[in-house]
């Protein structure tokens, strides 16, 4: 007998980086994707063609009979889309780190979250099998549905509450988004000196690789952790015409120092 | 006929992370290391035993007949050691990013720099063959000596002036030291929530891996580059009891925004 809870058909609402990569992973795992919706026809078409499924940019043409609706939208857009398309009888999930599951409550009866802890860019492939995926649902049956869905493409799945998930998302902003901006500032410094930013690649790789064998606090090197005020002073002098970079240098060096000497 | 310029024997002054890894690389490349000096007997002994060479913590016992003296000390310590041990007839080099080559000029007649652009921790092995190494010397003969020395363990060697090298070092502080501190802050956030910091490892790996195919500015993701003020506001609220982390979150988010929208 068919398990009515197990989703076979999926509609994806959103066509950004997360929707693109999850869409590919779900299609590869054998789920039937019925339709892609995106606010702009261009992005709906791009993902629809990539997944070889129908697409639309008109909410009134959304297929409402899917088993699962996967919302991958900017947080602010989710509620306004829900207002237009509900009621829906399928299981509705979002993929956002900082949005509580309860955002669905006024609109649908079955809802949950599937949050992949990863950074996605459209044209960079990722290996989904090691990505930690965190699921949450309003009832145990739907929790099982989401665990099974996530296990179809990742070997690293766990249940996590909305409250814990928001801290996970905050930590990811530091570990990924802010670390990447450090790479950007470093590459700006080199390019201003006509040096190739890619000289930094082995250093960046090793910095990331190190934490597989040393916790990051133990892996810390550099003038701030040595409290080498002579080098710090020279660096601040090099940055004297770039107020923003200088401010970042100062607040992070201060934080490294406090972390290691307090 | 023996090339008098080619170093065969080396004395290493310093026993920190850089001295340890360069010592291993030079020994593996076939150079004869005569002695290790370090200010403390414990660290001199540790590296001496690791390389299986004599060691001392007394400057008056330093072997002065080596072809090459490799100084790998805190910047401030170099001059005081030079004052005590000079004159020396061998080629004297340091390994520091922010110290000009000319620091040697008052003390010795042959001098230069060999700067490996990498982060070293004592108990983490690194593959030297891909590390970019930057050399500088006061004359063309010694430049050739240092190019050949560096080529003995790295496939990525170039000549770089002191003036450019200091910017390279500054960029490395952002790309490595500051990125690693972002990992530390992220792991603190997770551990405060009883979540395992190692959940972040696949994200950190992918963030570093991405820049091999996308320049870091194009790889940027997260609330700041999307100008998602709703999430930024929630994150600042989660950090309201941690003034330092909140300040770092604010200044980096502002910098990401300015970089991408100016």
Please indicate whether, in this complex, the C-beta atoms of B186 and A171 are within 8 angstroms of each other.
Answer: yes
Query: Which of the residues B184, B205, B244 would you substitute to probe the A interface, choosing the one with the greatest number of A C-beta atoms within 10 Å?
Result: B184
* Residue pLDDT, tens place only, A46-59: 999 999 999 999 99
Token match 């590459």: residue? A187
Indicate the Cα dihedral angle B239, B244, B245, B249, nearest 10°.
100
- Locate all alpha helices (DSSP H) within chain B, ordered by sequence: 17-28, 41-51, 75-85, 140-151, 162-172, 179-192, 201-210, 216-219, 229-238, 243-261
Please indicate whether, in this complex, the C-beta atoms of A98 and B234 are within 8 angstroms of each other.
Answer: yes
pLDDT at A262: 73
Q: Collect all residues of chain A within an 8 Å Cβ-Cβ radius of residue B203.
A: 117-119, 172, 175-176
Q: Give the 3-state secondary structure percentages of chain B, helix then strand then coil, rounded to 5.
A: 50, 15, 35
pLDDT at B7: 82
Q: Give the 3-state secondary structure percentages of chain A, helix then strand then coil, rounded to 5.
A: 55, 15, 35
Contact residues for B190 (Cβ-Cβ < 8 A; gap 6+): A167, A168, A171, B196, B197, B199, B200
pLDDT (average), residues A225-230: 89
In chain A, the largest separation of any two C-alpha atoms, in whole Å, equals: 74
pLDDT (average), residues A7-24: 95
Q: What is the ipTM of this complex?
A: 0.93
Distance from CA of B174 to the nearest CA of A (A): 5
pLDDT (average), residues A30-59: 97
CA distances from A20 to A28, A40, A65, A170 (A): 12, 15, 22, 23
- How many Cβ pairs closer than 8 A exist between chain A and B? 320
DSSP 8-state secondary structure symbol assigned to residue A31: -
Please indicate whether, in this complex, the C-beta atoms of A192 and B247 are within 8 angstroms of each other.
Answer: no
pLDDT at B122: 76
Closest-approach residue (CA) in chain A for B120: A221
Q: E strand or H helix at A112, and its extent?
A: strand A111-116
Please indicate whether, in this complex, the C-beta atoms of B177 and A223 are within 8 angstroms of each other.
Answer: yes
Which residue stretches of chain B have pLDDT < 70?
1-5
* Residue pLDDT, tens place only, A127-143: 888 899 999 999 999 99
Distance from CA of B196 to the nearest CA of A (A): 10
Compare A252 and A124 and report the one with higher pLDDT: A252
Query: Which of the residues B115, B117, B119 would you substitute to probe the A interface, choosing the one with the greatest number of A C-beta atoms within 10 Å?
Result: B119
Band (pLDDT 50/70/90 cuts) for residue A1 is very low
Give backbone dihedrals phi and psi of B95, rounded to 5 degrees, phi first.
-120, 20
In this complex, is the C-beta atom of B252 within 8 Å of any C-beta atom belonging to chain A?
yes
Give the C-alpha separation, B120 to B113, whole Å: 18
In the predicted model, is pLDDT for residue A159 greater than 70? Answer: yes
Give the C-alpha separation, A202 to B117, whole Å: 8
pLDDT at A5: 60
- 3-state class of B109 per DSSP? coil
Give backbone dihedrals phi and psi of A119, rounded to 5 degrees, phi first.
-105, 130
pLDDT at B238: 97
pLDDT (average), residues A87-114: 97
pLDDT at A102: 97
pLDDT at A208: 97
Band (pLDDT 50/70/90 cuts) for residue A6 is confident
Give the C-alpha separation, A7 to A89, whole Å: 12
Q: What is the mean pLDDT of chain A?
A: 94
- The bridge status of strand A111-116 relative to strand A132-137 is antiparallel
pLDDT at B1: 36
Point out the residue among B200, B228, B244 whose CB comes nearest to the CB of A74: B228
pTM of the full predicted structure? 0.92
pLDDT at A7: 83
Give the C-alpha separation, A22 to A40, whole Å: 19
- 3-state class of B88 per DSSP? coil
In the predicted model, is pLDDT for residue A2 greater than 50? Answer: no
Helix crossing, B75-85 with A229-238: angle to 10°?
120
Q: Is the Cβ–Cβ distance between B187 and B200 less than 8 Å? A: yes
pLDDT at B5: 60
Please indicate whether, in this complex, the C-beta atoms of A187 and B249 are within 8 angstroms of each other.
Answer: no
- The share of chain A scoring above pLDDT 90, in percent, equals 89
Give the C-alpha separation, A71 to B26, whole Å: 56
In the predicted model, is pLDDT for residue A122 greater than 50? Answer: yes
As a residue count, chain A comes to 262
């Amino acid at each position: 007998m068919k398990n009515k809870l197990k989703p076979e058909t999926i509609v994806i609402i959103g066509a950004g980086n997360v929707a693109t990569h999850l869409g590919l992973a779900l299609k590869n795992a054998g789920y039937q994707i019925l339709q892609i919706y995106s606010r702009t026809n261009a992005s709906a078409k791009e993902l629809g063609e990539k997944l070889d499924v129908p697409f639309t940019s008109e909410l009134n043409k959304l297929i409402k009979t899917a088993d699962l609706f996967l919302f991958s939208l900017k947080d602010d857009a989710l509620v306004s889309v829900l207002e237009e398309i509900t009621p829906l009888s399928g299981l509705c999930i979002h993929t956002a780190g900082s949005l509580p599951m309860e955002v669905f409550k006024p609109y649908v009866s079955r809802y949950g979250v599937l949050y992949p802890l990863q950074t996605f860019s459209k044209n960079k492939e990722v290996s989904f099998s090691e990505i930690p995926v965190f699921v949450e649902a309003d009832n145990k049956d739907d929790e099982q549905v989401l665990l099974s869905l996530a296990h179809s493409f990742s070997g690293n799945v766990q249940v996590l509450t909305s409250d814990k998930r928001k801290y996970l998302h905050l930590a990811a902003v530091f570990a990924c988004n802010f670390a990447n901006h450090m790479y950007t500032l470093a590459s700006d410094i080199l390019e201003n000196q006509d040096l190739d930013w890619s000289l930094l690649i082995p250093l960046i790789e090793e910095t990331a690789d190190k934490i597989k064998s040393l916790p990051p606090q133990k892996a810390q090197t550099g003038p701030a952790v040595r409290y080498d005020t002579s080098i710090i002073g020279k660096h601040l002098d090099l940055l004297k015409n770039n107020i923003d970079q200088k401010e970042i240098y100062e607040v992070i060096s201060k934080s490294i120092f406090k972390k290691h000497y307090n």
